[in-house]
Amino acid sequence: MNLSQELMAQGLAGALAFSRTSGFVVTSPFPGPYTGPTQRVGLALMLAWVASACAPAPTAAVGHLGLHLFGHAASELAIGLLLGAAFRFVLAAADVLAQSVSLATALSSPSVFNPTVQSQEAPLALAISLLGVMVAFSVGAHRVAILWLLESFRALPVGAPVAFDASAGVFVDLAAEAVLVGVKQALPVVAVALVTQVTLALIARAAPALQLFNVGIGIIVAAGAAVLMASLRDIIAGLAQHFFTLSLRIEQLLGALAS
């Protein structure tokens, strides 16, 4: 192989590696929605450069131009999207926790406009979601995800066949575990809020003249906030323990894709 063919093969392999890293950056919660497009493209290019330098040689079919490259590019992009989605599914436990606590404490009605994502969000839910992101970063979940992205170039070399249908079961498990962990961590707040609402309903039923509706919302919010602050340490510990499973889940995903 002459120099021009070698450079062509390396260039095509780098472009396909960029397709995979771009897919990861698009769906991954890191660097997050608050990062501009320039920083996202720069991160994808840097990861593709590192992967091209450390990964094994691509398959022979990648070394020359042709229509088959469109299929390889789509396959690499899909791999990156799945890896980033797995990271997002693990962090979704914090979003389930945030929405459950916000609904239980009757603080889901007030909302603020988030100009970055162009949507209305409840302040308490947004605060708990950001707390979950801080916990994930504190335990190094973003570093684990990036390391597994680079490792994916060894498990699934550029141009290798991929069994995408085998990843469905992994994502079903990821979704179920995220819901289970989020609801489990929110259970103390939900239980106390439910007991408070039932108690207020019984008092209002026994003594309608008291007009508890005017102060009932305040009591529910105060009770929920007190339980949330009291159990915050356990909630953080539970989320951190869940985020530690990210490595195992991505390993299962890569094993399914390579099967």
Q: Give tens-digit pLDDT for 216-235.
A: 778 888 888 899 999 999 99
Per cent of the chain over pLDDT 90 is 40
DSSP bridge partners of 119: 114
* Lowest-confidence region among 90-99, 116-125, 126-135: 116-125
More confident residue, 198 or 83: 83
Q: What is the CA radius of gyration of the chain?
A: 24
Rounded to two decimals, the pTM is 0.85
How distant, in Å, are the alpha carbons of 99, 127, 183, 232 from that of 226? 17, 16, 18, 10
Cβ 198 vs Cβ 168: under 8 Å: no
Per cent of the chain over pLDDT 70 is 84
Provide the token pair at 244: 């530690």
How distant, in Å, are the alpha carbons of 26, 41, 45, 148, 237 from that of 19? 11, 11, 9, 16, 36
Taking the C-alpha atoms of residue 41 and residue 47, their distance in angstroms, rounded to an integer, is: 10
Other beta carbons within 10 Å of 57? 13
Nearest to 166 by CA among 70, 48, 78, 247: 78
State residue 176's pLDDT score: 95
Query: Number of folded domains in the chain?
Result: 1
* Lowest-confidence region among 17-21, 51-55, 244-248: 51-55
Confidence of residue 259 (pLDDT cuts 50, 70, 90): confident
* Cα angle for residues 29, 82, 59 (degrees, 5° grid): 125
Could you list the residue range(s) of the whole structural domain that residue 150 is in? 3-257
